[in-house]
Amino acid sequence: MFTCKQVSKTLNNQQFNALPIWKRFVIKLHVKLCVFCGKYNKQVIDNHDLCHQYIRNEDALNEASSCKCFLDESKKATIREKISESLNT
């Protein structure tokens, strides 16, 4: 069984979703039962999950045609020029 400090340290250094399944289980169990670090580390795990889900959704978000953010046409032209220069050398 982990101590509170070990749980906090692990969550600070690694993404919860990337941990081996047994470690996730032990940490979840600790967080569920611990009256000291339980509430805090539950929020840390939730934040890791939030980021993990965001990364999964990020592609669709950047792809969305409804997105108002576009690269400047003038900047696009400059990059096109640089690309053709680079291809010609």
Partner 1 sequence: MMSDVEKESTAITPPSEWVDKYGDYLYRFALSRLKNPELAADCLQDTFLAGIKALDNFDGRLDIKFWLRGIMRNKIVDQIRKSVRCKIVDIDKEDEGLMESFWFKYSGIATTNPTPWEFNPRKYYDNQEFWIVFKECVENLNEPLREAFTLKMLEDQTTEEICKEMNISTNYLWVLLHRAREQLKLSLTEKWLNRDSN
Q: Which residues bind partner 1 (CB under 8 A)?
A: 4-5, 7-9, 12-13, 15, 18, 35-37, 39-41, 43-44, 46-51, 53-55, 57-58, 60-64, 67, 69-72, 75-76, 78-80, 82-84, 86-87
Contact (Cβ atoms closer than 8 angstroms) between residue 30 and residue 7:
yes
What CA–CA distance (Å, rounded) separates 11 from 19? 9
Residue 25 is classified by DSSP as H
Q: Minimum distance from CB of 21 to partner 1 (Å)?
A: 19
Distance of CA 9 to the CA centre of its chain: 18
Q: How far is the CB of 60 from partner 1 (least distance, A)?
A: 7
